[in-house]
Chain A
Amino acid sequence: MDAMVRELSYAQAIQEAMALAMEADERVFLMGEDIGVYGGAFQVTGDLVERFGAERVMDTPISELGGAGVAVGAAMTGMRPVFEFQFSDFATLAMEQIVNQAAKMRFMLGGEVSVPLVMRFPAGSGTGAAAQHSQSLEAWLGHVPGLKVIQPATPHDAKGMLLAAIEDPDPVMIFEHKLLYKMKGPVPEGHYTVPIGKAEIRREGRDLTIVATSIMVHKALEAAETLEAEGIDVEVVDLRTIRPMDKATIIESVKKTSRLLCVYEAVKTLGIGAEVSAMIAESEAFDYLDAPVVRLGGAETPIPYNPELEKATVPQVPDIIAAARGLVQGTR
């Protein structure tokens, strides 16, 4: 690895992006519950309050709806708020402001305003936090025109995509898997952006395309190692952005491999996998398919507390390996 590139955790990478943005632009400020001296429920804001003060690292009351509305109003009038939800599940309390106001304001007003707002959502299961603190609701927001919805999977992308989000003139929703916060990876120093709306091919392969999101990218890469030993050459596409979706990258990959497996943690039905597979069915890549598309998503249940049950509700590496084998076997 390049000696010049340090390793940071995903949480540190996000914190560094926020610090850089605040240093560069006085309009940028953070708001959320317990993000000040507490440092955020997942220590993502950490000690930023000491550097930037309580006005720019602003604790809010436990008022998700009102807080989201304050962020929308501030964004409409010249500020650039970065609003942290303590858990993505609490977006349910703020859906009015996110869906009816933030997403539609520019449109309803005929382009007379912009809403340069970033909302950060710690998401996903695996922490034993049970049904109301473990959901993956990104497809809910991905369904709303006017929002951009991203799911960075690496520390590098977390920093670069957050900086891109803060500089974006429109509302950007970032879903951060809680189990990724401690994951380390190379993160360049200083300012850089990773474009919103561009997928990334994490591993090239000939036999099968896995389109994965967030933490599932890492599980898919792990599965791909095992599958390689079996002679199955997997291409892993990290979707990174679910709205707007990078259709071209997925279509090109499927045209190359002729097989598609979608892997995501959110509940399987009516989700990202449905969108990706339908998009392929509508595209020229459909004629290239050698097997039916397979979706691997979360079970049709709330996230349970018991750790074994919890694991069983979301795709794991052996599930991905089994699905990939099933797809490839008998179709070569």
Chain B
Amino acid sequence: MAAPKRAQPEAAVRANLPFIYREYSPEQLRQVLHKMYLIRRFEEGAEECYMRGLIHGTMHLSIGQEASAMGICMPLAEHDQITSTHRGHGHCIAKGAEVKKMFAEFFGKTTGYCKGRGGSMHIADVAKGNLGANGIVAGGIPIAVGAALSAKRMKTGKVVVSFFGDGANNEGAFHEALNMASVWKLPVIFVCENNGYGMSTSTERSTAVKNIAERAAAYSMPGVIVNGNIFSEVAEASHRAVERARAGEGPTLIESKTYRHRGHSKSDRNRYRTKEEIEDWMSNRDPITLFENELQEFGIIDREGVEAIREAVAREIAEGIQFAKDSPSPDVRDVENYVYTEPA
């Protein structure tokens, strides 16, 4: 009798690895770390420019939520589409935007993604599939369903991700959009980045269910909860949802539990949460630190490699800000451009 075939030791080890180490090459994972740093430093750079009066208006920083943006976008192809939120800088970079054009937009310059008409709250990169951040809570959710309807009707094979926050799950648009997406089995993934607060109001005070993912049951779609600060968990959930969508099985609701280190916007005095709470998330659950340590443990990157990423990102940010500063402002005479499609 032949002895039972033993699994190859390497394959056995591999099967026990977290999802991302089975799915992606070391180089891809180093790229992820690079991009997470790029998001973090972009927002820190934007914040500094704001403090120095170089950027006006306001902005909503996603510092602390980088693993969520990167993990969700990881299985997306370039032609796949997203709709984003007022806290959308990370989504934009994760979907492939260039930081110099984002800085230029924040500076209100013609070289910006929206030619200086949109700013932080409407940052978009249509060529890379980002249909735009949105200043209206839940505004992008039905739009994503519409994009998914186009994908299904035109048989493009695209999937669409709609990012939104915990605040949006109490808007009527959330209910209407998720219901329609499920009824029509559209290739769309609803990603609720639950950072615990809709501006100052905690989810405990605003939301009748403990987990927003529980609401998926009402729309007969899978509801998945992930630790949004652990890249591998987010990426794995996104993979499953993308596969399901591409197979024509319909939408998924992913709740990515995370935290924003900064306030809601630039006017926030942080009176609704404690210093200890913020400190805990920053020190013990920072998504970049967690991912970086894990990559080092797995021998995918060493200290020098991390340092090289940091330096490269710092250069990219500095060049981006310089590009924005050097770019031309729009001509005031063009103020009415883009309201309507210009005659050919």
Contacts and interface: CB of A to CB of B under 8 A. Distances in A.
A301 to B, nearest CB: 29
Given A66-B142, A73-B149, A106 B180 contact: no
A74 B143 CA distance: 7
Contacts of B114: 108-110, 112
A72 interface: yes
A79 B117 contact: no
Interface in A94-113: 96-97, 100-101, 105-113
A112 to B, nearest CB: 4
Interface of B: 81, 83, 112-118, 122, 124, 126-127, 131-132, 134-136, 139, 141-151, 153-154, 172-173, 175-177, 179-180, 183, 337-342
B183 A61 contact: yes
B117 A60 contact: no
Given A110-B115, A110-B117, A63 B146 contact: no
A283 interface: no
Contacts of B113: 109-110, 112
A67 B184 CA distance: 12
Interface in A109-124: 109-114
B340 A113 contact: no
Nearest to A81: B146
B338 A107 contact: yes
Given A61-B183, A108-B117, 11 more contacts: A61-B176, A66-B176, A66-B180, A67-B180, A70-B143, A70-B149, A75-B146, A77-B131, A107-B338, A110-B114, A110-B115
Nearest to A113: B126
Contact of A77 (B151, B176, B341): B151
Contact of B173 (A96, A107, A108, A109): A96
A71 interface: yes
Contact of B146 (A27, A72, A111): A72
A63 B143 contact: no
Contacts of B117: 107-110
A61 B180 contact: yes
Contact of A100 (B127, B136, B175, B341): B136
A252 interface: no
- Of the four ranges (under 10, 10 to 19, 20 to 34, 35 or more), the interface on chain A belongs to 35 or more
Contacts of A170: 340-341
A69 interface: yes
B136 A96 contact: yes
A100 B139 contact: yes
Contact of A69 (B142, B340, B341): B142
A205 interface: no
Nearest to A27: B154
A70 B153 contact: no
Interface string A71-98: 1111111110100000000000000110
Q: Interface centre among B142, B146, B180, B337, by most A CB within 10 Å?
A: B146
A66 B143 contact: no
7 contacts: A66-B142, A66-B179, A73-B131, A73-B145, A79-B149, A79-B154, A170-B340
A169 interface: yes
A190 B339 CA distance: 32
Given A105-B132, A110-B116, A70 B145 contact: yes
Contacts of A96: 136, 139, 173
Nearest to B343: A169
A67 B141 CA distance: 11
A106 B340 CA distance: 7
Nearest to B145: A70
Nearest to A114: B341
A70 B341 contact: no
B150 A79 contact: yes
A77 B150 contact: yes
Contact of A101 (B124, B139, B150, B151): B139
Contacts of B83: 73
A189 interface: no
Nearest to B143: A73
A74 B149 contact: yes
Q: Interface centre among A27, A65, A110, by most B CB within 10 Å?
A: A110
A113 B81 CA distance: 14
Given A60-B180, A69-B173, A70-B180, A146 B149 contact: no
Contact of B150 (A69, A78, A109): A78
